[in-house]
Amino acid sequence: MIHKLKKFSKQMGHGLKQEYRETKDIPKHIKNREYKKAAEQVGDIGKMTFLSALWILPGGGVVSATIVKFFKKMRPSAFREDETNKNNEIA
């Protein structure tokens, strides 16, 4: 159980870094059609902040892991690898 929590914690850190990198690049390349991507990234940062805040609370690690596993719409894009890969293959 502790190993799973450590693994999840590392994934959270990696996800936050990835979201930060993606968000940092947006102002450089922003165009009218890219506002949707910008809004999605801001939403992802909000989701990561929410999950990180849950992690601090007692028992929050379990709740965060449950949310990431079962509630697909609550997942930031860093945790939606399968959907992202499918979309990239189509484009």
pLDDT profile of the chain (91 residues), mean per 10: 80 83 73 74 84 82 80 74 56 50
CA distance 90 to 85: 9
The residues near 33 (Cβ < 8 Å, ≥ 6 apart) are none
CA distance 33 to 74: 24
Cα dihedral angle (26, 51, 15, 85), rounded to 10 degrees?
-80
Q: What are the boundaries of each domain within the chain? A: 2-90
Give the predicted TM-score (pTM) of the model: 0.49
Query: What are the angstrom distances between the C-alpha of 41 and each of 4, 59, 71?
Result: 27, 27, 18
The string of pLDDT tens digits covering residues 76-90 is: 777 776 654 555 555
Q: Give me the pLDDT at residue 89, please.
A: 55
